[in-house]
Amino acid sequence: MSLLTTTAKRVDPKGGALALRLALFVVLGFGEFLLATYIIEIPRREGFAPWTNPVPWANTLAFIAVSAFMLLLAISWPRRREVFEIIQSDAGSGVAVGVGVNLALFAALLLTGSSLSHAQTPALYALIPYALLLLSAGASLALLAAPFETWRRLVRLLPAEIAVSFVGATVAVLLGSVLQGSWSALSGATLTLSHWFLTLVEPEVHLDVAERIVGVRDFGVQVNDECSGYEGIALVVAFLATYLWVFRRALRFPNALLLFPIGVATIWIMNSLRIAALVELGAHVSPTVAVQGFHSKAGWICFLLVTLGIIAVSRRISFFSSRGEAAVASAPTGAALPVATPDDTDRAGAQVTLQYLAPFMALMTASIITSAFAPHDQALYPLKVFAIAAVCWWYRDAYRSLLSGTSGLAVAVGAAVGVLWIATEPASEAGASLGAFIGSLPVWLAVSWLVMRGIGTIIMVPIAEELAFRGYLARALISSRFETVPVGAFSALAFVGSTVAFGLIHQRWLAAMLAGAVYALLMYRSKKLADPIAAHMASNAIIFLWAVAVQEWALL
């Protein structure tokens, strides 16, 4: 098992202007959202009908626009190269004007919103300008991301995709508002099913239908509207809509539409099982673990299981997959029907994709599972190490050459990143619980746990993250056949996209983005993954050793 070699020529677009534009868009977008949320808090218009307030209408329109944009990203993914060429061609046009217009509109929005926040009952004539400013400031961010000419060309290129995105987002948002009143009935059904699951394993189960409480012994939970499962249902529906569109050529229609009721029913049943398991855990193991860990994380585990199951079922069963139909149709007369399998190229691409993503998938899966046992999840950290190590051992032949030829510059730069990470760590009490956990252990066990944490932090995590973000994502954003793109091939979209994605999985997301940018630049310089992996390891080694030496556990 070895990583496939690449032969495609280097992609070297002139992406400096686009990188600057996207960086401004991300920084201003996040900064303005956080600042507006902190400063502006407009009270309701008491005594007036809700529909007469233009601010919720403006917020709804903004939410639809953002949802439509996210949906468009998924729907237009098969044509991303055409889209990128259009975006790149006009990247340097009107950046200064876009920034100036956005800042002016946002300043006016802050002034207007701040004054309205101090009014007991804002007047309608004052709310209308604020709503218009809100929409205008959002539109100016869109023009900062790309000039008007780019948007016009994108509309001409993707009219159907844009229409589907806006219609889908509008229907989803409005349907969600309409159905909010039905969550009560859904929570009642969830309560009933959870109670039934508990009766299968418990001789005595307490049920209070009026208060919607189900429990065992002295531990019970209230199944309110938020616990009805509608969030999981919405996530599954959104996932399926995107999945069916992106892979529409590989699926059979209308058969594939049956995945919607299957997915909705499955996630709802699993939510009821989650509540039953929550009660069992609280009654027989630990109420703290049940409430603080399992309650929130188990929902994401269920969602991952359902979505991965849908992908596996839909791609392997010929009733849903058009690949199976094509294979049967091409079989010679009188010959045994062949098993439906992808062609050799697809199989090779899937194999190398798994080699790059499997360690990170193992890390994420182990993290979700261990966090379900909070506040005792720290004791399970070795599970993450073993999970990544098992995957790395399985693909050991593919990874042998990854650390060969590491440069001293990469190690030095990585160590400098670690020092800067420590120097910019904000003062907090975040590490108090970890320090208390380590202090509660016998010396030999504390040392063993720290050794295991060091192996994970310094070796396993850098390998998993660099393979995923610099090895896979930075090339997948250039071509869907990422294995044909050489390591170190540059494009502005790939550099910014993979760096932002890397930052968002960390709590200190801005610092992580900067660190990820440094690791990416090292890769572009050497055209090898060995340098970013070594630099990441050096950064984490400096941070880990400092944290242990001075007992600054918030750094871990």
At 523-553, the pLDDT tens digits run 999 999 999 999 999 999 999 999 888 888 8
Same domain, 189 and 230: yes
Same domain, 325 and 399: no
pLDDT per residue as tens digits for the range 394-430: 888 888 777 677 888 999 999 999 999 988 887 666 6
- State how far the Cα of 429 lies from the Cα of 552, in Å rounded to an integer: 10
- State how far the Cα of 400 lies from the Cα of 7, in Å rounded to an integer: 20
**Under a CB-based contact definition with an 8 Å cutoff, are residues 83 and 154 in contact?**
yes
| pLDDT confidence bin for 106, thresholds 50/70/90 | confident
Range of the domain at 133: 16-157
End residue of a domain, out of 122, 157, 192: 157
- Provide the pLDDT for residue 180: 56
Same domain, 400 and 506: yes
Same domain, 499 and 371: yes
- State how far the Cα of 258 lies from the Cα of 260, in Å rounded to an integer: 5
Element housing 216 (H / E): strand 213-216
Same domain, 300 and 387: no
Same domain, 321 and 368: no
- Provide the pLDDT for residue 518: 92
| pLDDT confidence bin for 325, thresholds 50/70/90 | very low
Pairing of strands 206-208, 213-216: antiparallel
- Provide the pLDDT for residue 151: 85
Same domain, 76 and 148: yes
Same domain, 355 and 316: no
Residue entry with tokens 């040392």? 447
CB pairs under 8 A, 24+ apart, for 144-147? 144/21, 144/24, 144/25, 144/28, 144/95, 144/98, 144/99, 144/102, 145/21, 145/22, 145/25, 146/21, 146/87, 146/90, 146/91, 147/90, 147/93, 147/94, 147/98
Residue entry with tokens 């690449």? 6
| pLDDT confidence bin for 17, thresholds 50/70/90 | confident
Q: Is the full-model pTM beyond 0.75?
A: no
Interior angle at CA 469, CA 466 and CA 473, nearest 5: 140
Q: Above pLDDT 70, what percent of the chain?
A: 80
- Provide the pLDDT for residue 331: 40
The reply to whether 335 falls in a domain is no
End residue of a domain, out of 304, 329, 354: 329
- Provide the pLDDT for residue 51: 63
Same domain, 304 and 362: no
Whether 471 has a pLDDT exceeding 80, the answer reads: yes
- Provide the pLDDT for residue 502: 87
Listed range (127-141, 328-342, 361-375) with the worst mean pLDDT: 328-342
**Under a CB-based contact definition with an 8 Å cutoff, are residues 184 and 230 in contact?**
no
Contact partners, residue 535, CB within 8 Å, separation at least 6 = 410, 411, 413, 414, 417, 518, 519, 522
End residue of a domain, out of 329, 360, 381: 329
Whole-number average pLDDT of the chain: 78
Same domain, 475 and 549: yes
Whether 246 has a pLDDT exceeding 80, the answer reads: no
The reply to whether 204 falls in a domain is yes
pLDDT per residue as tens digits for the range 354-400: 788 889 888 887 876 776 566 667 888 888 899 899 988 988 888 87
Residue 435, beta-bridge partner list: none
Whether 339 has a pLDDT exceeding 60, the answer reads: no
Number of domains in the chain: 3
pLDDT per residue as tens digits for the range 311-323: 778 877 888 877 5
Same domain, 299 and 381: no
The reply to whether 162 falls in a domain is no
Same domain, 290 and 369: no
Whether 69 has a pLDDT exceeding 60, the answer reads: yes
The reply to whether 252 falls in a domain is yes
- What is the DSSP annotation of 513-554? HHHHHHHHHHHHHHSSSHHHHHHHHHHHHHHHHHHHHHT-GG
The reply to whether 53 falls in a domain is yes
Whether 143 has a pLDDT exceeding 80, the answer reads: yes
The reply to whether 254 falls in a domain is yes
- State how far the Cα of 522 lies from the Cα of 538, in Å rounded to an integer: 13
Nearest to 457 by CA among 388, 358, 531, 526: 388
The reply to whether 263 falls in a domain is yes
Listed range (18-27, 29-38, 155-164, 278-287) with the worst mean pLDDT: 29-38
Residue 377 is given by DSSP the state G
More confident residue, 9 or 481: 481
The reply to whether 169 falls in a domain is no
Nearest to 187 by CA among 231, 213, 223, 235: 223
